[in-house]
A and B are shown apart, each in its own frame.
Chain A
Amino acid sequence: MTPAELRERVEAFLAEHPPATTDRREFLHARYAAGLAWVHFPEGHGGLGLSRGLHPLVESLFTTAGAPDNNSRTNGIGLGMVAPTILTYGSEEQRERFLEPLWCGEEIWCQLFSEPGAGSDLAGLATRAVPDGEEWVVNGQKVWTSGAHNADFAILVARTDPDVPKHRGITYFLADMHDPGVDVRPLRQITGEAEFNEVFLTDVRIPDPMRVGAVGDGWRVANGTLNNERVAIGGSALPREGGMLGTVARSWREHHDQHTPELHDRLMRLYVEGEVARHTGQRLRQQLASGQPGPAGATMKLTFARLNQQLSGLDLEIRGAEGLRYESEPGWTMRRPDEVDFTGRDAVYRYLRAKGNSIEGGTSEILRNIVAERVLGLPAEPRVDKDVPWNEVPR
């Protein structure tokens, strides 16, 4: 299908379902049924089996027409990571059950991956899943879980075989966050808010059909999810001066009294880098249009983290004494936000929140290892636990 034909199809859909007068829920489900939810997904699952590169056109046509939003800000993990994972690795039954309510924003997802003892070394995770008839019984603790307090479902990795080396004993599940054994507790962060959580899992029961991939194959599935995460975090299309760069450029234009040549050169260095990141992201998306996300996506996430941190720090300096005030509601008072917004609230919030960008979704240190090993082909770090059964590794 050519872009022109696709444009026609979207326009025909919009004529039949005028956004202004169509019920939101009805509109979203109709868009899914018409294959215009994510056109690179297969027919029958909200797509048309087209190239991934055509999707931005569809998205921009719907946005321009004022189409209802599918909760995309609250459900970033669902849309960016869970959906491609279920599509690639899930069963037909799982695709049928989960993809439509996920895309329509009716079921919100979170990610139960990191643990207190398994951060960068995610494969060392200790949450156990033990089979019991047609079910699995899960016990353990997860941490840094963004949005767990809003989530209906979670993607979960758990250890199903402690007697084999760590990478081989992990299985991937879809878990119901409303299970009585799931206890979500807020974890307050340096901004004052609790955007993420600790999640305690006590005898949580998961039916075997909610397993993704084979028993013991969870590490491979999780890597698929993490590659998508890095693309989702670092690879979205931005216009010039989109994102944090736009926020800081506006600051510069509004705070003339603080202008110095030194601040200006730093701003322009970051401006150039922002443009470079935009072009790199555009090329990466053009590469993705004919394939799956690969390890090169890690470079986008590295760049995004550094840029956001340097820009948000510069913003405070550009504001002078104004940069010392954290007056946006609710200040330091603890709250539980519904969505993550890196460019939201005020400059102090943005500066502090950006510190997480080089930690969440793989630390910048781990990402550099990934680039060096999988892209450049340099030797892997020595791994003393590589061939040791998980339950014999000292911890």
Chain B
Amino acid sequence: MTAPTTGPNPDPSPDELVLLDTDDDRDLRATVAGYLAARCPSTAVAAVYDGDRSVVAPLWRGLATELGLAGLLVPESYAGAGATPRDAAVVLEELGRSVAPVPFLTSSVIAATTLAHASTDAGRSLLADLAEGGRTVALVVPLTTAFDADVPVVQGHGQVHVRSVAGALDADTLLVPVAAGDGIELHAVPAGDARIEPVVSLDMSRELADVTVDPTAGTVAVEGDAAAGVRAGLLAGTTLLASEQVGIAQWCLQATVGHLQERRQFGRVVGGFQALKHRLADLYTAVEGASATARFAAAALAADPHGEEARIAAHTAAAWCSDVAVLAAEEAVQLHGGIGMTWEHPAHLYLKRAKADQLALGLPGHHRARLGELVGLTV
């Protein structure tokens, strides 16, 4: 549909972030896309909704260890690939395009970035295990937690309940934020020492769980004030979720255009009706904007993970890409007609993921309001 960007690598002015795929990006994309095409058919994703999760473990093991994606963002000193959020953005576009039911975002992005703040041997060793694909980790906060909100901590005695946690079902280690004095510390708790109950989720390709855990359990991975680490993890998650949403939106747009180029009614190809052409042109414009904005946010985070620019870009990308992915999925269902309403057609898998992603890590309205505060536009 869009012309592939080939030829020499982009050559922008020196202080400008590159928003196009480089040769390395294209290689990484082709590798991940090829792997997913062979091992993650949409029928297997749909089966997860019917309780057959057999696709999940081998797919994640392959991506994590064969392709080495588990430790993509982990520094080389911890046995990771030492790659940047730009590289992870390419991976997430492809995972979104396949609605792949794997814990890359929760373990390799959010937990790995949080664990980069590890201050104990136990924490550092967990990060190295995560990087090698030996362990899969989930941060125990509700999926709806925004990176700039107060970190929801587990406090009290005995068994404490945290609802709607993503990635916990796939994790062998839970990272639990625990109140400690004035601050927060992170406890690494073996999954077997907690109760992890699956939730019948809107999006079963990122199935939620309710976690019950003893705040005194496990070993301390980050001492003192772990809030900075949690926020960094959720910021990376927010930034890169936008790239997943781009993959979802691009799939929906492409599938819809493809369908409308084939489908005939009234003796004509339906895609030739101007009412539909204009709708798709507007959708294309929105999706192109999402793709540039998500990549900008990833590049800004790579350039300076602590800078204001990265936070402005993350709020912008979250606000825009969340809504665009939902719009693209809703348009896909509508413009496929009755077919789009069936279990058999994969459009519903994208709709469910897109809608769940919109609620994840802060609503678009939250991100718009916080963006306003950052740029000095308040009510």
Contacts and interface: CB of A to CB of B under 8 A. Distances in A.
Nearest to B253: A376
A302 B320 contact: no
B265 interface: no
Contacts of A282: 12, 16-17, 19, 292, 296
Nearest to A52: B11
B295 A283 contact: yes
Given A57-B13, A378-B257, A372 B280 contact: yes
B288 A264 contact: no
A130 interface: no
Interface string B281-322: 110110011111101100000000000000010001001100
A381 B16 contact: no
Nearest to A50: B11
B13 A378 contact: no
Contacts of A249: 375, 377
A227 interface: no
A369 B288 contact: no
Given A53-B10, A53-B13, A377-B261, A253 B377 contact: yes
Given A375-B2, A377-B261, A378-B280, A275 B293 contact: yes
Contact of A289 (B3, B12, B278, B293): B12
Interface stretch (B103-111, B214-222, B266-274, B340-348): B266-274
Contacts of B312: 240, 275
B320 A272 contact: yes
Contact of B271 (A260, A302, A378, A382): A378
B365 A368 contact: no
B379 interface: yes
B296 to A, nearest CB: 4
Dominant secondary structure at the A interface? helix
Contacts of A382: 272
Most buried by B among A365, A371, A377, A382: A371
B113 to A, nearest CB: 23
A57 B289 contact: no
A282 B16 CA distance: 9
Nearest to B300: A279
Most buried by A among B1, B269, B280: B280
A63 interface: no
Contacts of A367: 281
B41 interface: no
A285 B14 CA distance: 14
Nearest to A272: B319
B17 to A, nearest CB: 8
A371 B281 contact: yes
B5 A368 contact: no
Given A275-B316, A280-B292, A376-B281, A252 B377 contact: yes
Contacts of B296: 279, 282
A236 interface: no
B371 interface: yes
B368 A272 contact: yes
A299 interface: yes
Size category of the binding interface on chain A: 35 or more
Interface in B350-377: 365, 368-369, 371-372, 375-377
Interface in B231-287: 257, 260-261, 268-269, 271-272, 274, 276-278, 280-282, 284-285
A265 B379 CA distance: 9
Contact of A269 (B10, B18, B276, B368): B368
A98 B132 CA distance: 64
A290 B11 contact: yes
B20 A379 contact: no
B51 interface: no
Contacts of A269: 368
Contacts of B274: 369, 381
Contacts of B290: 276
Most buried by B among A249, A260, A275: A275
Nearest to A57: B13
A254 to B, nearest CB: 12
A273 B16 CA distance: 20
B337 interface: no
B1 A376 contact: yes
A40 to B, nearest CB: 11
A368 B19 contact: no
A158 interface: no
A53 B10 CA distance: 8
B281 A56 contact: no
Given A53-B11, A272-B319, A286-B19, A378 B1 contact: no
Interface string A235-270: 000001100000001001100000111001101110
Given A280-B289, A379-B271, A56 B13 contact: yes
A368 B379 contact: no
B8 interface: yes
Contact of B377 (A260, A268, A276, A380): A268
- Nearest first, the 3 closest Cβ-Cβ pairs linking A and B are A379-B272, A372-B277, A371-B281
Given A240-B312, A303-B289, 17 more contacts: A53-B11, A259-B379, A268-B371, A271-B372, A272-B320, A276-B293, A279-B295, A280-B289, A282-B19, A286-B10, A302-B281, A369-B278, A373-B277, A376-B277, A378-B260, A378-B261, A379-B271
